Structure 1
Amino acid sequence: MENSRNFVLVLTLSLAVLIGWQWAMDYFYPQPEEVPVTAEKVDTPAEQAEVAHSRTGGLQDSAAIAQEAADLETSLASPERVAIDSPKIAGSINLQGAFLDDVVLKDYAATADDSDDEPVRIFSPRGTPAQQVSQFGFLVNGEKLSDDTVWESSGGALSQDNPVTLTHAAGDGLTLEQTWSIDENYMLTVEQAVSNTSGVPVVVQPYGLVSRTSDTASADFFIAHSGPIGSFDQSVDYDYDYDDVEDEKTVSMAGKTDWVGFTDIYWLAAMVPQEGTAPDATFRSLGGNLFRADMIYDPITIPTGRKVTTTSRLYAGAKDSEILDAYQDAGIPQFGLAIDWGWFRWFEKPLLWLLKNIFELVGNFGVAIIILTIIVRGLMFPIAQKQFASMAGMKAIQPKMKALQEKYKDDRVKQQQEMQKLFKEEQVNPLAGCLPLILQIPIFFALYKVLYLAIEMRHQDFLWISDLSAPDPATILNLFGLLPFTPPSFLAIGVLAVLLGVTMWLTFKLNPSAMDPVQQQVFAIMPWVLMFIMAPFAAGLLLYWVTSNILTLAQQKYLYSKHPQLKAAAEKEKAEKAAAAKAGK
């Protein structure tokens, strides 16, 4: 009767976990509802508070997506634009206001559909549903030039070998210039100059800004920061998200600004100040899900007949670890940490390097994940052997330990002394079984995080999966992709999720560790609960976990064959507990 009550309790708790997890998944990864496509403008600010966010970001509402396409067609058709064509970036600079508001990344497709070769867009003009823009300029005597000002351009299209200069005669003898250049990757350089030919000195204050909507933001998860980001005094700040900035309205960052901007899981827009300067950095909420990062230099007094130039940089592109690290090596402090590696980055970066090299050899990212998992488990195998050997040794001296505990039950100090003496005589370390497990935790968490963060996994296919960074598309309810509909995330149990549940159940089944009936019931239910919990995660993560479970099964069978006394002792203890429980009914 007691076991029945315990089983009901376990089942209730498991269902609570499952429902609670589904609520959390719906909160962090909501599925957008199908709404009719209209030509109306995007939702009002009050309605935008309920915007859905996916793991990788981008607009999720079909009406907003349609509006974005229509707005882009209108905005980008303007002749007042300077084209950008570099090895990795295409787009344009809007001469009205000198905004960089049109950036697509040539190396990354917007979707995993092979028939769609549209590049991913990270900057869109102001007023569009997916707006993100950057602007550099000067406050002249405390006043900002109007955003409606039309600049003149010279030099043709901006490319790696062809800088472009924008000029504006501001009146009263002041001439403003911006010279834009771009490198072979994602870094733009802006030389901001003011020439004073007036009869009096002027005070100018250079600035840079990045403004964006949070509607396109990737989900801010505990292992992957999304939102405001920057390095200050060579320390990267991941503390603020969009909600924090919205609550505080204005967030002023302390310390010397190394770089500042906004990040998604795969994309980064960050301003880098001129070397040797210390501009103020501020994040602001502009209302209506709009946010801005400001980088404002100290005021400069320009005497008559003089010219002052300030050089800033803007990174607008993919969070490719090699590229970010290269910029860090070139002098931008902590730029590689724009990727939120966390505590275990010393493990994660070598794992990513190995994963990328395996991928180059085998040509398939799914196969590379399997091979990397095998390599990591192989390297950890000696530790597992040591753990099993320690467990076997402890099981062998169990009768002697019980005898000492009984003999010195009234003298704890003497009991501990005799226990230590026994461990020394039998050459057994009671901590040896725990230490290997502790050593493995950072390695396996690092592998998990690499697969979560790596942009290299985006849109990579494997067997029936077209995108390893997205959930498994072949679910039971749509007959593994045969029926043309997508089940709700709660019921979207794919092939890999089923394999995860089965392999984990087999792992628990093979383990003969003695457990009481409640523990047995918990371990019987846990694999199937985890099957539901992990189903919405990226298919690449599930592939890693399934592979790891299969290797665990093989490892357990081998090690138990090498230590039969461990299995026999555990089975004996398990039988004794079962008999005692039966007798107690």
Structure 2
Amino acid sequence: MKKRISLIIGLILVTTLLAGCMETNLPITSESEGFWNQYIVYPLSLFIVKVAEIVGGSFGLSIIIVTILLRLLILPLMIKQTKSSKAMQAMQPEMKALKEKYSSKDQKTQQKLQQETMELFQTYGVNPLAGCLPLIIQMPILIGIYHAIMRTPALQEHANFLWFDLAAPDPYYLLPVIAGITTFIQQKITMVGMENNPQMAMMLWLMPIMIIVFAINFPAALALYWVVGNLFMIIQTYFIKGPDLKAAAAGKAGGAKK
């Protein structure tokens, strides 16, 4: 879990660094050179423009639709991640027993612990890295959308949506706050059954704060992408983890009656 948290924080920091270091002042076109421009930024830019044309020129609606389509694209990975997370939760008592059994820090004992831990993963059908895969896939998309937003001339010219300019930070900070709140709710639903995990409890507060800070400084279109993605994830997680959520709610109700 600690490694996963470190990976999440590291990927977010890398995203911020790359977003700041890459060229954002050159318009993206079909003539733009380089693998990143040709296969990530330009296709996303073209996709956003084409969808905007279909919905009457609204780039805000286009970003919402594109976000939902991208989320549907990686939905199988997210379902696999959720199932892997549930399996990891189920095997925690056995993991704890193994650590107690092989508590000695000598090399031979630690090798035995590692061996039996991997066997336990195989028994439960768990891939320790499966939980990080969706995040790793999302980061290039997130950076790509950032650049598509900043470098698509048509979007810069028709950037108004609701109360904000898509190409500039939200002047009222409403969208960053909504992004933070929806991130918190999404995290809260995801960690049902893992409330006693201190690392997860830390992420419950750390992630929303980081998202708010980034959303305040980034174009509102990126915050809009994050809000829509969070709402999609909340609905998705609710349906996938429905039995767990009902059990947790029943447990709290029973505790309250006592």
Deviation at 1:553, TM superposition (A): 1.7
Show the counterpart of 1:389. Answer: 83
Q: Cα gap change, 1:560/1:457 in structure 2, threshold over 3 Å: closer, same or farther?
A: same
Structure 1: gaps spanning 5 or more residues: 1-220, 227-264, 267-318, 326-335, 476-492, 573-585
Q: Cα gap change, 1:399/1:548 in structure 2, threshold over 3 Å: closer, same or farther?
A: same
Deviation at 1:399, TM superposition (A): 2.0
Amino acid at match of 2:113: Q
SS of 2:74's equivalent in the other structure is: helix
Q: How far apart, in 2, do the equivalents of 1:503 and 1:396 lie? A: 27
On the 8 A contact 1:344/1:442 being kept in 2, the answer is no
Is the counterpart of residue 464 in structure 1 residue 189 in structure 2? no
Alignment of 1:152-191 (within 5 A): none
Show the counterpart of 2:149. Answer: 451
1:544 to 225, 228, 234: 225
Show the counterpart of 1:377. Answer: 71
Q: Cα gap change, 1:344/1:419 in structure 2, threshold over 3 Å: closer, same or farther?
A: farther
Q: How far apart, in 2, do the equivalents of 1:454 and 1:441 lie? A: 20
Q: Cα gap change, 1:390/1:526 in structure 2, threshold over 3 Å: closer, same or farther?
A: closer
Q: How far apart, in 1, do the equivalents of 2:114 and 2:23 lie? A: 47
Q: Cα gap change, 1:560/1:521 in structure 2, threshold over 3 Å: closer, same or farther?
A: same
Q: Cα gap change, 1:550/1:395 in structure 2, threshold over 3 Å: closer, same or farther?
A: same
Is the counterpart of residue 358 in structure 1 residue 56 in structure 2? no
SS of 1:428's equivalent in the other structure is: coil
Deviation at 1:352, TM superposition (A): 1.8
Show the counterpart of 2:236. Answer: 555
Amino acid at match of 2:175: L
Alignment of 1:208-219 (within 5 A): none
Is the counterpart of residue 408 in structure 1 residue 102 in structure 2? yes
On the 8 A contact 1:387/1:436 being kept in 2, the answer is yes
Show the counterpart of 1:508. Answer: 187
Show the counterpart of 1:429. Answer: 127
Percent of counterpart pairs with the same letter?
35
Amino acid at match of 1:375: L
Q: How far apart, in 2, do the equivalents of 1:555 and 1:419 lie? A: 30
Amino acid at match of 1:349: Y
- Which structure shows the higher helix fraction? 2
Q: Cα gap change, 1:434/1:496 in structure 2, threshold over 3 Å: closer, same or farther?
A: closer
Deviation at 1:472, TM superposition (A): 3.0
When normalised by structure 2's length, the TM-score is 0.72
Alignment of 1:180-579 (within 5 A): 222-225=20-23, 265-266=25-26, 319-322=27-30, 325=31, 336-337=32-33, 343=36, 346-363=39-56, 364-410=58-104, 411-460=109-158, 461-465=160-164, 467-473=165-171, 475=172, 493=173, 495-512=174-191, 513-514=194-195, 520=201, 523-524=204-205, 527=208, 530-531=211-212, 533-561=214-242, 564=244
Q: Cα gap change, 1:379/1:404 in structure 2, threshold over 3 Å: closer, same or farther?
A: same
Q: Cα gap change, 1:344/1:423 in structure 2, threshold over 3 Å: closer, same or farther?
A: farther
Amino acid at match of 2:215: M
Q: How far apart, in 2, do the equivalents of 1:518 and 1:424 lie? A: 24
Deviation at 1:518, TM superposition (A): 9.0
Show the counterpart of 2:5. Answer: none
Q: Cα gap change, 1:537/1:431 in structure 2, threshold over 3 Å: closer, same or farther?
A: closer
On the 8 A contact 1:377/1:548 being kept in 2, the answer is yes
What are the Cα deviations for residues 39-89 of structure 1, in whole angstroms up to 9, with x where unaligned? xxxxxxxxxxxxxxxxxxxxxxxxxxxxxxxxxxxxxxxxxxxxxxxxxxx
Q: Cα gap change, 1:374/1:518 in structure 2, threshold over 3 Å: closer, same or farther?
A: closer
Deviation at 1:224, TM superposition (A): 4.0
What are the Cα deviations for residues 20-43 of structure 1, in whole angstroms up to 9, with x where unaligned? xxxxxxxxxxxxxxxxxxxxxxxx
SS of 2:157's equivalent in the other structure is: coil
Q: How far apart, in 1, do the equivalents of 2:91 and 2:198 lie? A: 26
SS of 1:508's equivalent in the other structure is: helix
On the 8 A contact 2:71/2:232 being kept in 1, the answer is yes
Q: How far apart, in 1, do the equivalents of 2:206 and 2:133 lie? A: 28
Deviation at 1:522, TM superposition (A): 7.1
SS of 1:359's equivalent in the other structure is: helix
On the 8 A contact 1:459/1:468 being kept in 2, the answer is no
Give the number of the structure whose alpha-carbon radius of gyration is greater: 1
Q: Cα gap change, 1:407/1:519 in structure 2, threshold over 3 Å: closer, same or farther?
A: closer
Q: How far apart, in 2, do the equivalents of 1:521 and 1:431 lie? A: 20
Q: Cα gap change, 1:499/1:415 in structure 2, threshold over 3 Å: closer, same or farther?
A: closer
Show the counterpart of 2:16. Answer: none
Deviation at 1:409, TM superposition (A): 3.1
SS of 2:161's equivalent in the other structure is: coil
On the 8 A contact 1:391/1:433 being kept in 2, the answer is yes
Q: Cα gap change, 1:402/1:526 in structure 2, threshold over 3 Å: closer, same or farther?
A: closer
* Alignment: residue pair count: 225
On the 8 A contact 1:355/1:368 being kept in 2, the answer is yes
On the 8 A contact 2:28/2:41 being kept in 1, the answer is no
